[in-house]
Amino acid sequence: MKPEQNYIELFDRNRALIDSGSARVMNGLRERASECLKLYGLPHKGLEEYLHTDVREWFLPDWGMNLGRLDMRVDKAQAFRCNVPNLSTLLYFLANDEFACSQTASRTSLPEGVFVGSLREAAESRPEIVGKYYGRLADMDRPGIAALNSMFAQDGMMIYVPDGVVMDKPLQLVTLLQSPVDMMVNRRVLVIVGRGAQLRLLMCDHALSANGFLTTQVTEAYAGPGSRLELYDLEETHNANLRVSELYLSQEQDSSVEADYMTLHNGRTRNTVSVMLKGRGAQLSLNGIGTIDREQHLDIMTFVDHRVPDCTSNELFKYVLDDSATGAFAGKVLVRKDAQRTSSEQTNRNICLTRSSRMFTQPQLEIYADDVKCSHGATVGQLDERAMFYMRQRGIPEQEARMMLMQAFVGEVIGRVALEPLRDRLNRLVEKRFRGELSQCEGCRACR
């Protein structure tokens, strides 16, 4: 039996249970989502966009889901100590898919009109907002994860920053996976940044228990006119972790967005980023690093849609692959006929440290406007042997020289991170990772 059928049956059998653990606005999308899953199925290797990652295969096991919303007793404070130093954040948690507030965050009064909290709760208390934005960007009419996620997601997080409000403190959302048995988690994040508003959001993805997890995460983010949004996604999970994430981002006129993906430790990961530049003068900086080894797998696909004139997009993704790790990057840029004076740059550089590591890279540009500045570049190579010898001649031991070169390689991406304390933290985390000291998630007591 195809896994899709399994999930559709599971959905049909448990519809009442799913609905009762969620909210009306979210429930309203489920029927269509299930139709879409029937029509388009789960993404598999036969599709060009999933050539290197058979996501459907991940769904074959009979994953448990906590649809009855039993208390999983995830002890946030005990389990997690975030140590991004000098970074004072308002800290929130998604324990599996259930929202929780840190003590400090719960005591802090947010600027007027700002909402940070459970998506389910928001759907009840602010249906006018959630109803307007939920499920509007996520594309279910194609093979992907949005349909299945919309069928089963019961909660998640919503951040709403109204027009003109600047959130001084960065928000940090720590997603924790903990369960006594293998489990599937479907969570949803909704981010709305109003006209001229500003938000910095750091999402840290961790797994606290060592058993298998399959997570689907769909994030819909709206950057209003003249707004500034920084979105950092940091994955530090473990080898038994499967993650499929989709980010749908829509940018209005003169908005400026930075979205950075940092996969420091994982199992198998597929991240899809889809950006719609729909207002003139919108600027996007989209970056990522992947440090993967053993049998780890990281597949990132980006799609940047230049719909209107005068927008800028800049992409830089770098992977370092060790052992038998496999990586894939596909970057699609579409410049529509009217999108004159588009400026778009895409770079993907990769280092394979071993013969058994594999990297697949595919830049893809579709340009229909004539007055544009677009460039792309992709390379797969090894560490520079000449630099290695030069450093060793100066007395730097081979291992140390390798370390420094790898760090310098990904350092270019980290240098683009706008949030300075995070930059420092990343440099240290990456160094630890390359030294083999970061085997699981930094900051999780369970993994120490």
Nearer Cβ to other proteins (224/288): 288
CB nearer to other proteins: give 276 or 430: 430
Residue 383 CB, shortest distance to other proteins, in Å, is: 11
Angle at 153 between CA 149 and CA 156, to 5 degrees: 115
Closest CB to other proteins among residues 398, 420:
398
| C-beta of residue 24 within 8 angstroms of C-beta of residue 123 | yes
Stretch that binds other proteins, among 104-112, 177-185, 305-313, 379-387 (CB under 8 A): 379-387
Contacts with 254 (C-beta within 8 Å, 6 or more apart), sequence order:
225, 226, 279, 280, 281, 282
> Could you give the CA distance from residue 364 to residue 31 in angstroms, rounded to a whole number?
34
Residue 448 in the binding site for other proteins (CB under 8 A): no
Q: How far is the CB of 345 from other proteins (least distance, A)?
A: 18
Per-residue interface string for the shown chain with other proteins, residues 380-419, x marking contact by CB under 8 A: ----xxxx-xxxxxxxxxx-x---xx-xxx-xx-------
CA distance 406 to 250: 34
Is residue 428 part of the contact set for other proteins (CB under 8 A)? no
User: Which CB atom, from 51 or from 383, has the smaller least distance to other proteins?
Assistant: 383
Closer residue to other proteins in complex, CB, 41/288: 288
CB of 434 to other proteins, least distance (A): 13
Helices within 94-165 (DSSP H only): 103-107, 119-125, 127-133, 146-152
Q: Return phi, psi of residue 402, to 5°.
A: -60, -45
Give the binding-site size for other proteins (rule: CB under 8 A): 22
Which pair of structure tokens corresponds to residue 166? 């600047």
| 166 lines the binding site for other proteins (CB under 8 A) | no
Q: How far is the CB of 412 from other proteins (least distance, A)?
A: 6
Question: Are 289 and 315 contacting, i.e. CB atoms less than 8 angstroms apart?
Answer: no
- Residue 314 in contact with residue 348, Cβ under 8 Å? no
Considering the rule CB under 8 A, would residue 435 count as an interface residue with other proteins?
A: no
**Interface residues with other proteins (CB under 8 A)?**
384-387, 389-398, 400, 404-405, 407-409, 411-412
